[in-house]
Structure 1
């Protein structure tokens, strides 16, 4: 992940979509194993994953509390 370049490359978009699919529970067992290997090899993307989880949790909490 290169945060200094814009727009995102096609591979960045694909990785972001794969992370969203993982969070949504739409990956196979093999894809889940592959994404964890990818996170180990690319810690910046793991940070992105953690941020995506946090933001989704906040959004869901806000929706339930109807702020």
Structure 2
């Protein structure tokens, strides 16, 4: 995982996440929220696995 990506339903493809934020959902799982780099009007969201959380923290900073 060198870049954070998510599937955009609006664009119907996998896109890079611009301005990613690490958030905690109500059930305690971690996720990344942001906007699609190709279309700033498209919000994207990716639920992370436990191993991906550590990688995402390093990428976000």
Establish whether TM, by shorter chain, passes 0.5: no
Q: Which has the higher helix share?
A: 1
* TM-score normalised by structure 1 residue count: 0.26
Higher normalized strand content (fraction of residues):
2
Name which one, 1 or 2, has greater alpha-carbon Rg. Answer: 1
